[in-house]
Amino acid sequence: MRLPCKAERALADAVAHVLSHPVFREWIKDPSLPKHFREAGHFWGVAPGTPPSVIRTRIGEVDKTLEAARSLLESKGVDGIAAQHGRALFDRNDIIRASEFQKMLKTRFAKDLATLSVELAED
C-alpha cells in the first residue's frame, strides 16, 4: 500500500527512524544488546540530565509511533507500506520486532528508569 497523505508520510518517517536506528539494528544482530542504559537513552533521544518528564515523553513517542503504524496496517488491511516508487517502507514484521525491542528496553532498564524517577504506563 502506498502513502497518500502527509500524516502517513510523517508516520513512515518516524517508523524509519526507529527501524534504522543503530541501537535497534545492533539488537537485531545480537539480542543481548544494548547492555548499558546510555545506549537505550541514545535510542530514545535522551542524555544524562534529561528531566524525567522528557524521558517519559520520548519513550511514549516511540510507543505512539509503533501503535500508529500497527493501526495503519490494520485499518488498510495490508501487511506493508510502500513509498510512491514501490520501495518498502515497513511491514508488519518490522513493527512487531520494533515493539519487542521497545518492550525489552523498558524491561531491561526498568531499574535505571526508576532511579531517574521515570514512571511508565503499563504495556
Number of Cβ atoms within 10 Å of the Cβ of 17? 13
Which neighbouring-strand residues pair with 88?
Answer: 82
* The predicted structure's pLDDT at residue 82: 83
Nearest Cα to Cα of residue 40 among 116, 122, 95, 101:
101
The answer to whether 56 and 44 have CB atoms below 8 angstroms apart is no
Instruction: Report the distance separating Cα 92 and Cα 22, nearest Å.
Output: 20
Residue 2 has pLDDT above 60, yes or no: no
* The predicted structure's pLDDT at residue 94: 97
Angle between the N-to-C axes of helices 6-20 and 22-29, in degrees from 0 to 180, rounded to the nearest 10: 50
- Look up the pTM and report it: 0.90
pLDDT band at 5 (very low <50, low <70, confident <90, very high): low
Residue 7 has pLDDT above 70, yes or no: no
* The predicted structure's pLDDT at residue 51: 96
Average pLDDT along the chain: 91
pLDDT digits (tens, 9 = 90+) for 45-95: 999 899 999 999 999 999 999 999 999 999 989 898 887 777 888 999 999
Cell matching residue 2:
502506498
Average pLDDT in the 21-42 region?
A: 97
